[in-house]
Structure 1
Amino acid sequence: MAAALENELGLDNEDYYSLLNVRREATQDELKSSYRRLCMLYHPDKHRDPELKRQAEQLFTYVHQAYEVLSDPQSRAIYDIFGKKGLEVEGWEVVERKRTPAEIREEYERLQRERDERRLQQRTNPKVDIPDQNDKSSEHTEVANKRLNGTSEAVWDIKHHADLLNRKTHLLTSPLSQPHCVFNCTLMTTSIVRDTKTSHFTLALQLGVPHSYLMMSYQYKFQDEDQTKVKGSIKTGFFGTLVEYGAERKISRHSVVAATVSIGVPQGVSLKIRLNRASQTYLFPIHLTDQILPSAVFYATVGPLAIYLAVQKLIIMPYVRAQKEQELEKQKEVSASEIARRKQEAEAAVLLMQESVKRIIDAEESKMGLIILNAWYGKFVSDNSQKHESAKVIDVTVPLQCLVKDSKLILTEASKAGLPGFYDPCVGEEKSLKLLYQFRGAMHQVLSGDTEPLKIPKQCEYRCVDIDGCFRMFVH
């Protein structure tokens, strides 16, 4: 939840491409050229003032970090997919360096799941030590841990044997339907499994004494954020016939609730409610009747659905809404301090650019080149109120003039808030860049979107002076 809010507020990751002002497909030569130019600008040894020297060291470190990530193929692939936070996940050091983006994404998701599971295990499965005078502490500790885990010894034992059975049978699921046969001393089992992105189908046959049955099940997976699933199955054998149907839904990041109705002969009608939270499983079996009664089937089907909708509306949704509001308020406080920090960094960068900008302006004036007269970045309003605009835009004349090279200014398609000397004055709102510049003695104005690429001057703005002193347009 917090990560999503950070994305909405634009504070999740610093844009290394924007910092270096290179396109996302930049070559190693382009990265090196931009890196060298910024190193010359921010190198601490070029500044004698202690405060400027300290600020230059900080900016120099940022630039060096960005170059190190983008110049390394594997780090760059991770950063392109998951951003700066993807590089902070533990375990990348053991990953092979020759990986495709798809393999890197899969590895990242696996590492992320393992980290989340470790954190959740620490929260939901605490270990306790119970001292005992009869030197049976290990036995008591194991019993206490099982009680804390919320599962009984019998349930754990059943799951343990089921895991062993799965290892022995090697049942595989794949997008293609494949039969699997397993032979035992007294049993023979064969099954066909088809697993796709939206469905799971199983057809199984077991022959043996006394357990023989034919089972067919189907599960449909909805492509929603709650990972809703509906399933149904029919199983018939020497014991009778059993029909089951139910649904499963994710109610939080680590919690899943499911309800299953069982109708069988001679079992009758029963309802099973299951709650999974990480490794904990809570089962609530409810036996309604020994006979198949329409009223029992109706209440077993409608009852859990009505209870779930009521709990969802009266408890879960208000709780989630309150959590989001708390996170939003917390993120607003964080964003305020983050904006202040980045503003301070941008102002420091502008101070470091002053000397370079003077040299660039002198060089451009000598050849009637590109001079940035005024530049503003932020959210522009339609009422033309200068007072209101000043609270939403910042002056970026110096940073843009510093980027001028050979009478050209080229900005990539990345957000301009990451450029040196820039910061986001209105986080989460739509922003633009407005420029007033002079080229070949003529003034021009341009308005560009935040993530739109920009290249000035345009071809149609190249001019030459005719013999009669009149400016005439031509295409360069």
Structure 2
Amino acid sequence: MMETDQEQDSVNEEDYYTFLNLPKNATIEEIQHAYRRQSKLYHPDKHVDPVLKKKAENLFSRTNRAYEVLSDPHQRAIYDSLGVRGLETQGWEVIQRMKTPQEIREEYERIARERDERRMQQRTNPKGNITVQINATDVFNKYDEEYDVSDGLFGGIEVSGMSFHQSIEAPLTLRDTLTLYGQLDTQNGTGVGTVNVASRRTISAKSWMEIDIGVGNGPALTVKGYRSLTQRLFCSGAMMLQFKPHEVRPGLVGSLGLQLDKHTVGYLTYKGGLQNAMTTMIVRETPESYTAFSIQFGFVNTFVSLSCTYKMPEKRLKLRGWIKAGTMGAYFEYGAEKKVSKHSSLSASVRVGIPTGVTLRIKIVRTSQTYLFPIHLCEDVTPAPIFYATVVPLITWTIVKKLIVDPMMREQRDREKAKQKELNKTRTMEKQREARAAIDLMMATFSRIRAQEETKGGLVITKALYGRFVYPDQCDNEYENENNSKEDVIDVTIPLQCLVMNSKLVLHKASKSELPGFYDPCFGEEKQLLLQYLFHRQTHECLIKDNESLRIPVQSHRVNIT
């Protein structure tokens, strides 16, 4: 089911605004003016020739449909938020005409949420976490005089511990969810495991309760809850009972959270029974960064910690740093996380601490599965393991990226483009036929507007090309070369001349492929629009990206001919 939804998302939707050459915030007067202007081009009664009349019927129908949606505040609100499929979503029959656009959006979100919840009833949500602890301290002990190198470079590396955690969610009703999870830990040949069943019930939009029963390391019972107290204040808590052969160990955790501002949340947490501690934490998250500062006072462990993350979404990269100091030691950690693909990420960090020494931590996340490899390099803080732990992952990643990841990603992108082209093949052919029909219908208007502009020395489009240019800086008469086939670029001189009004041409910020007389000649590729035009009988030229807005004439476009 999810694959079908994703395929549908890949298919182009009609853009009513671009079809009428309107901005997203167009007024009703602008919509009516654009409708009247375009109706003069495509109204069947304007054409005597039976062939042209037939072509005009389809384009006039599209014009009417665009006007019908954009001129109706209710349909426009749905379309703006959800597109054409929002207008066709089953369940809209419950919406009354008296509802406001905002209420319509909320109603759609409710219907979509219920649909997703029904789908969730038929699914599980498996999550897994595998941790492999590696002891490689003997690798760097070779610098000691007493070190015996007879075993070779990797002779001393061993797996000192492993941990497996797996969970499965089973939605029972719209409010009830059953979760089965278990964990197995082994350390130096000794293992322990637990199996838990948790049942969560959503009481309201502001609260939920959960009962968790576990066996393995002695039977355990936990009752958890969450409640939103006000718009900015919320709390959560848990009561635990762990049954041992000769005693019952109680535990209590309570947390109070406060939304300090749009990006900042403060927490106050108390732990009693199994652990006794009081923790204060402040978390601030923005699109560019994440910062968490916490202080804990406890009988066993008291510490101060600071974590910072700098996000670079354009590079799909995150740089992180941690520092923690307390009664049980201190450490500093730095690292980076790289999103390799849509569902996968790779991260590496180096932890330098006392008394733990130097540890390299590598984490791989693939969909809902996480693989963590803490590699203990040295028990003491020395320069050599720190250097190798920092440099080796960078070199390794560079080689792997160059030889494996980049070719694999290129192949995946090519497959995705081919898939999208296949999904849009029928629609592209229809759009191509429609564009040709539109140009046939524009010929009389094109001749009239061009003659008027030539007479007064106004705006005359001499050449307009739309598509994929391999060499944007050589897009004059050289655009058709061995790397640029005719299929990648289409001539849109006539459609653009027909959009000229009072010696001006305005194109809004949207893909130009939905303009009348246009179609997408290279689906999935980056496209551009090349324009050569005369204004006051002077030659002008410009090149813009597909989604870039345009307003001409512009003095800077003038070509100085010597």
Task: Classify the TM-score, shorter chain.
Answer: 0.5 to 0.7
C-alpha contact (below 8 Å) 1:202/1:217 kept by paired residues: yes
- Partner in structure 2 of residue 206 of structure 1: 296
- Partner in structure 1 of residue 516 of structure 2: 420
C-alpha contact (below 8 Å) 1:23/1:412 kept by paired residues: no
C-alpha contact (below 8 Å) 1:378/1:433 kept by paired residues: no
- Partner in structure 2 of residue 461 of structure 1: none
Matched, 1:312 2:401: yes
Deviation digits for residues 432-476 of structure 1 (CA, Å, limit 9, x no counterpart): 25479xxxxxx9687565764458xxxxxxxxxxxxxxxxxxxxx
Out of 257, 278, 281, the residue aligned to residue 191 of structure 1 is: 281
Distance 1:243-1:448 versus aligned 2 partners, 3 A rule: closer
Alpha-carbon offset, residue 214 of structure 1: 0.9
- Partner in structure 2 of residue 229 of structure 1: 319
1:412 aligned counterpart, secondary structure: strand
- Partner in structure 1 of residue 61 of structure 2: 61
Deviation digits for residues 222-247 of structure 1 (CA, Å, limit 9, x no counterpart): 4242232221222322x444444433
C-alpha contact (below 8 Å) 1:403/1:409 kept by paired residues: no
Deviation digits for residues 187-237 of structure 1 (CA, Å, limit 9, x no counterpart): 32223444455544433232333x321122232314242232221222322
Distance 1:378-1:83 versus aligned 2 partners, 3 A rule: farther
For residues 490 and 369 of structure 2, what CA distance do their matches in structure 1 show? 52
More strand by share: 2
For residues 389 and 485 of structure 2, what CA distance do their matches in structure 1 show? 62
For residues 444 and 330 of structure 1, what CA distance do their matches in structure 2 show? 46
C-alpha contact (below 8 Å) 2:267/2:282 kept by paired residues: yes
For residues 242 and 274 of structure 1, what CA distance do their matches in structure 2 show? 19
Distance 1:178-1:246 versus aligned 2 partners, 3 A rule: same
Structure 2 letter corresponding to 1:183: Y
For residues 434 and 390 of structure 1, what CA distance do their matches in structure 2 show? 22
Distance 1:330-1:153 versus aligned 2 partners, 3 A rule: same
- Partner in structure 2 of residue 35 of structure 1: 35
- Partner in structure 1 of residue 306 of structure 2: 217
- Partner in structure 2 of residue 431 of structure 1: 530
Deviation digits for residues 248-283 of structure 1 (CA, Å, limit 9, x no counterpart): 222222222223444444444443322223332222
C-alpha contact (below 8 Å) 2:257/2:266 kept by paired residues: no
For residues 291 and 389 of structure 1, what CA distance do their matches in structure 2 show? 63
Distance 1:444-1:357 versus aligned 2 partners, 3 A rule: same
Distance 1:44-1:314 versus aligned 2 partners, 3 A rule: same
For residues 234 and 374 of structure 1, what CA distance do their matches in structure 2 show? 65
For residues 89 and 274 of structure 1, what CA distance do their matches in structure 2 show? 43
Alpha-carbon offset, residue 348 of structure 1: 1.7
1:283 aligned counterpart, secondary structure: strand
More helix by share: 1
Distance 1:244-1:314 versus aligned 2 partners, 3 A rule: same
C-alpha contact (below 8 Å) 1:371/1:401 kept by paired residues: no
Alpha-carbon offset, residue 308 of structure 1: 2.6
C-alpha contact (below 8 Å) 2:358/2:377 kept by paired residues: yes
1:461-472 alignment to 2 at 5 Å?
A: none
- Partner in structure 1 of residue 190 of structure 2: none
Q: Which runs of no fewer than 5 residues in structure 1 stay unpaired?
A: 1-10, 127-141, 437-442, 456-476
1:252 aligned counterpart, secondary structure: coil
TM-score normalised to structure 2 length: 0.52
1:253 aligned counterpart, secondary structure: coil
Structure 2 letter corresponding to 1:219: C
Distance 1:279-1:329 versus aligned 2 partners, 3 A rule: closer
Distance 1:32-1:261 versus aligned 2 partners, 3 A rule: same
Count of residues paired in the alignment: 397
Moved more, 71-80 or 215-224: 71-80
1:341-360 alignment to 2 at 5 Å?
A: 341-352=430-441, 357=445
Alpha-carbon offset, residue 63 of structure 1: 1.8
1:381 aligned counterpart, secondary structure: coil
Out of 183, 191, 197, the residue aligned to residue 153 of structure 1 is: 183
- Partner in structure 1 of residue 20 of structure 2: 20
Alpha-carbon offset, residue 327 of structure 1: 4.6
C-alpha contact (below 8 Å) 2:461/2:496 kept by paired residues: no
For residues 500 and 289 of structure 2, what CA distance do their matches in structure 1 show? 56
Alpha-carbon RMSD? 5.9
Question: Identity, % of aligned pairs?
Answer: 32
Matched, 1:378 2:487: no
- Partner in structure 2 of residue 273 of structure 1: 362
For residues 318 and 309 of structure 2, what CA distance do their matches in structure 1 show? 9
Out of 217, 241, 246, the residue aligned to residue 335 of structure 2 is: 246
C-alpha contact (below 8 Å) 2:534/2:540 kept by paired residues: yes
C-alpha contact (below 8 Å) 2:256/2:268 kept by paired residues: no
C-alpha contact (below 8 Å) 1:206/1:213 kept by paired residues: yes
1:228 aligned counterpart, secondary structure: strand
Alpha-carbon offset, residue 375 of structure 1: 6.0
Deviation digits for residues 6-47 of structure 1 (CA, Å, limit 9, x no counterpart): xxxxx9676544432445654211211221343454345777
Distance 1:384-1:91 versus aligned 2 partners, 3 A rule: closer
1:251-266 alignment to 2 at 5 Å?
A: 251-266=340-355
Moved more, 90-99 or 258-267: 90-99
Matched, 1:411 2:411: no
Moved more, 345-354 or 248-257: 345-354
Moved more, 293-302 or 315-324: 293-302
C-alpha contact (below 8 Å) 1:204/1:216 kept by paired residues: yes
Q: Which has the higher contact order (CA 8 A, sep 6+)?
A: 1
TM-score normalised to structure 1 length: 0.59
